[in-house]
Structure 1
Amino acid sequence: MTAQQKQQSLILDRTQIEQKVKRIAYEIYERNFEEQELVLAGIYPNGYTLAERLAEQLRQISPIQPQLVKVSLNKDYPLEEPVQLSPENLPLEGKTVVLVDDVLNTGKTLAYTLDIFLSHSPKKVEVATLIDRHHPLYPIAATYTGYSLATTLRERVQVVLQPDEVAAYLL
């Protein structure tokens, strides 16, 4: 066991994360059951992986056809580089957009991504997060939360969404 592993506490294991993803997918479907399609916009890297998992669940439980968008930005200095969407030409006007990220901490990352979506006149924008830490500095609240966790500002939450390891740790 490494020194870093000794200092981290397991918050969610693979089974728990899979349950949370399934529950969030059901909640998205319940709130958007009249939609033919919706856009899952994942903050790269982990938010996008989470969006892929949500899309897979939505396809299994509903007739909704989720479209995936990868959102790339400089999380530390969001004004230094433009927010990029991939695919960049996906029509968003009149559609429901669900911004997806693994951890919602201060809301900064999601706040800086809103502008690019609002400029395309979506029907509505919702936020889905696996873990909400409740340290808001920006007016961003999660519409869908997998796990609510009270942490100190010094603690970090690390989410691992790899084929060989799926877990969330408190560091």
Structure 2
Amino acid sequence: MTPEHKQQNLILDRSQIEQKVKRIAYEIYERNVEEQELVLAGIHPNGYTLAERLAEQLQQISPIKVQLLQVTLNKDAPLQEPVQLQPQSINLEGKVVVLVDDVLNTGKTLAYTLDAFLPQNPKKIEVATLVDRHHPLYPIAATYTGYSLATTLRERVQVVLQPDEVAAYLL
């Protein structure tokens, strides 16, 4: 993809993403101000990177202890392999869990991850996403949304969260 083609399809640049992450962190804190700790469970790879950025912001603005959990699953065939949570030592019983992913499209990925969380009896499960595309096929809605974007089913949203490039593109 040429740089000018990417530029035409840019939907969020680095500063806009940083602003959205900060706003989501404040919203998480406001909704969970009574909590001593919470778990940010990021869908590997980009959801986890986003969860790390949210954790940094939350630690700057609140006294809440934040634990990071990496969620790994086969997005193309979610029933073929079990959902993995790392580290496994984090106890979720009675805790607030915020599932974090970069793009919420149909809700399928997040729906399949619930099976790994529900048996551990969390207090509540919320969803944070940078971009919500609004194509729900599963009963999953974002609690926290950075950017809402109406897209066609053929279009794709690509979020890049690398040290040298932070952006979101519509492809």
**TM-score grouping bracket, smaller chain normalisation:** over 0.9
Structure 1 segments unaligned to the other structure (5+ residues): none
Q: Does 1:141 align with 2:141?
A: yes
Shift of 1:153: 0.2
**Cα distance in 2 between the residues matched to 1:39 and 1:127:** 12
**Cα distance in 1 between the residues matched to 2:62 and 2:5:** 42
Shift of 1:115: 1.1
**Cα distance in 1 between the residues matched to 2:114 and 2:3:** 35
Q: Which residue is 1:40 aligned to?
A: 40
**Cα distance in 2 between the residues matched to 1:117 and 1:67:** 15
Q: Does 1:106 align with 2:98?
A: no
Q: Does 1:21 align with 2:28?
A: no
Query: What secondary structure does 1:53 align onto?
Result: helix
Shift of 1:89: 2.1
Query: What secondary structure does 2:167 align onto?
Result: strand
After TM superposition, the structure 1 stretch with the greater mean CA deviation from structure 2, 80-89 or 6-15, is 6-15
Q: Which residue is 1:81 aligned to?
A: 81
Q: Which residue is 2:9 aligned to?
A: 9
Runs (4 or more) in structure 1 with deviation over 6 Å come to none
The amino acid that maps onto 2:119 is S
Shift of 1:133: 0.1
How many equivalent residue pairs? 170
**Cα distance in 1 between the residues matched to 2:21 and 2:96:** 19
Query: What secondary structure does 1:20 align onto?
Result: helix
Shift of 1:163: 0.3
**Cα distance in 2 between the residues matched to 1:132 and 1:5:** 25
Shift of 1:22: 0.2
**Cα distance in 2 between the residues matched to 1:96 and 1:126:** 8
Structure 2 segments unaligned to the other structure (5+ residues): none
**Cα distance in 2 between the residues matched to 1:88 and 1:133:** 31
The amino acid that maps onto 2:165 is E
Q: Does 1:170 align with 2:167?
A: no
> How much identity, in percent, do the aligned residues show?
82
Query: What secondary structure does 1:119 align onto?
Result: helix
**Cα distance in 2 between the residues matched to 1:4 and 1:16:** 19
After TM superposition, the structure 1 stretch with the greater mean CA deviation from structure 2, 84-93 or 4-13, is 4-13
**Cα distance in 2 between the residues matched to 1:162 and 1:169:** 14
